[in-house]
């Protein structure tokens, strides 16, 4: 099959490109490079099954032209990360809602199946755990800008499912839970790459709040495998699926594991949400997906645990920073002891 991937130069998008190409599919990436990067897809440019266009997914003419040449679409184009959402709420809301609306409209016109990438953020402050796809969503006040991202992605889900119900457009929604792995950057508030960069660089590891909040982290390779499997099926249309891991960890314990993996003696520093983001910022104590539905539908479960994720992210951070692997050198006696 030949796929259009909007936002394909981003972290998840670029890994999805690799997954689909490895399966023998062809890929056309559309990305304006606002949060994506050519660095993520440069190694794919010589693959005969790969093409890219630098433009916005909100440009209906460009989207429509590319859609004429493909069999199906992954809609991943979005402003992501808590930091970006808090700092640029207008851009986040307008781009996320508009681009998905354009992609769905063009897909409906061309009758192309669509995978819409959503997020665990849509569950908001719901305390009914683990989160099931049919569960209620509980968002905070519109005065709290951090909920704008969740609201925008929820609206994208509503629109996608409306196209399925009203127009018969084949659509499937995937709610991604903290997808991480090598190549992800901490620039927009992604916690594991941020902690890894701090540990490798000998800086204090910053943990927001008191560190007791619990999260589940899914390796990007597992996530894109699920995304690829879903779009090679015809019995999943009109449905929503959680994609993530249910291995929980507190952020404090996560920081300790990152520090240990990096062989770092950096301190862990608690930072209030007000200081880190904005006054009145709200966070959730736990966020855990129910994976029953996707397991029953396509037989998928994550195969890589948190230790592997942390190890790979730390190693990539070392490679990119030029720092030596202290843990290896200490074992071989090549690091001078103070």
Site of tokens 């879903």: 230
Band the pLDDT of 3: cuts 50, 70, 90: very high
What percent of the chain shows pLDDT beyond 90? Answer: 80
Band the pLDDT of 91: cuts 50, 70, 90: confident
Band the pLDDT of 185: cuts 50, 70, 90: confident
Three-class DSSP category at 263: coil
- DSSP-derived secondary structure for 238-259: TEEEEES---EEEHHHHHHHHH
- Output the pTM of the full model: 0.92
Q: Which residue did the predictor score with more confidence, 311 or 282?
A: 311
User: What is the structure's pLDDT at 189?
Assistant: 61
**273 in active site:** no
Nearest to 139 by CA among 162, 159, 119, 117: 119
Residue 212: both structure tokens together: 């007791």
Start-to-end CA span in the chain (Å) = 58
What percent of the chain shows pLDDT beyond 70? Answer: 92
Please state, in angstroms and rounded to a whole number, the distance separating the CA atoms of residues 304 and 298.
Answer: 18
Candidate from 83-87, 160-164, 282-286, 293-297 with smallest mean pLDDT: 83-87
CA dihedral angle for residue 316, residue 317, residue 322, residue 327, rounded to 10 degrees: -80
Nearest to 100 by CA among 57, 146, 52, 56: 57
User: What is the structure's pLDDT at 144?
Assistant: 85
Tell whether the model's pLDDT for residue 61 goes beyond 90. Answer: yes
Burial environment of residue 244 by CB neighbours within 10 A (0 to 12, 13 to 18, 19 or more): buried
Q: Which residue did the predictor score with more confidence, 331 or 240?
A: 240
Q: Work out the average pLDDT over 297-322.
A: 95
Tell whether the model's pLDDT for residue 335 goes beyond 50. Answer: no
Residue 266: both structure tokens together: 């950096």
Tell whether the model's pLDDT for residue 139 goes beyond 50. Answer: yes
User: What is the structure's pLDDT at 338?
Assistant: 22
User: What is the structure's pLDDT at 333?
Assistant: 32
Active-site residue among 149, 163, 188, 273? 149
User: What is the structure's pLDDT at 49?
Assistant: 98
Band the pLDDT of 280: cuts 50, 70, 90: confident
User: What is the structure's pLDDT at 327?
Assistant: 41
Q: Work out the average pLDDT over 281-289.
A: 91
Tell whether the model's pLDDT for residue 293 goes beyond 70. Answer: yes
Q: Are 63 and 5 in contact (CB under 8 A)?
A: no
Site of tokens 């609206």: 155
Helices (H), the chain: 11-22, 38-41, 60-67, 82-87, 89-110, 147-167, 191-200, 220-231, 251-262, 273-276, 292-298, 306-321, 326-332
Tell whether the model's pLDDT for residue 326 goes beyond 90. Answer: no
Domains for the chain: give ranges and CATH numbers. 2-179+219-243 (3.40.50.720)
Tell whether the model's pLDDT for residue 85 goes beyond 80. Answer: no
Q: Work out the average pLDDT over 243-268.
A: 98
Q: Work out the average pLDDT over 129-153.
A: 92
Nearest to 169 by CA among 221, 101, 119, 216: 101
């Amino acid at each position: 099959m030949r796929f259009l991937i909007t936002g394909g130069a981003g972290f998840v998008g670029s890994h999805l490109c690799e997954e689909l190409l490895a399966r023998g599919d062809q890929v056309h990436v559309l990305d304006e490079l606002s949060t994506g990067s050519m660095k993520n897809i440069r190694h794919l440019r010589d693959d005969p099954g790969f093409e890219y266009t630098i433009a916005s997914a909100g440009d209906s003419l460009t989207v429509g032209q590319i859609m004429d040449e493909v069999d199906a679409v992954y809609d991943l184009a979005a402003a992501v990360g808590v930091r970006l959402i808090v700092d640029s709420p207008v851009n986040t809301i307008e781009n996320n809602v508009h681009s998905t609306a354009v992609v769905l409209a063009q897909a409906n016109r061309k009758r192309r199946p669509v995978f819409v990438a959503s997020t665990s953020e849509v569950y908001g402050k719901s305390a009914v755990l683990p989160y099931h796809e049919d569960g209620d969503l509980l968002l905070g006040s519109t005065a709290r800008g951090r909920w704008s991202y969740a609201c925008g992605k929820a609206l994208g889900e509503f629109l996608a499912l409306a196209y399925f119900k009203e127009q018969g457009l084949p659509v499937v929604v995937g709610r991604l839970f903290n997808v991480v792995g090598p190549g992800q950057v901490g620039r927009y508030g992604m916690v594991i790459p941020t902690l890894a960069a701090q540990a490798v660089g000998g800086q204090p590891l910053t943990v927001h709040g008191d560190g007791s909040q619990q999260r589940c982290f899914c390796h990007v390779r597992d996530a894109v495998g699920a995304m690829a499997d879903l779009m090679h099926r015809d019995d999943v249309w009109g449905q929503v699926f959680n994609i993530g891991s249910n291995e929980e960890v507190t952020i404090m314990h996560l920081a300790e594991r990152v520090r240990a993996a990096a062989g770092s003696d950096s301190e862990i520093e608690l930072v209030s949400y007000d200081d880190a983001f904005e006054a009145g910022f709200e966070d959730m104590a736990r966020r855990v997906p129910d994976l029953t539905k996707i397991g029953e539908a396509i037989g998928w479960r994550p195969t890589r645990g948190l230790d592997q994720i942390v190890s790979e992210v730390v190693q990539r951070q070392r490679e990119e920073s030029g720092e030596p692997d202290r843990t290896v050198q200490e074992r071989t006696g090549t690091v001078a002891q103070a």
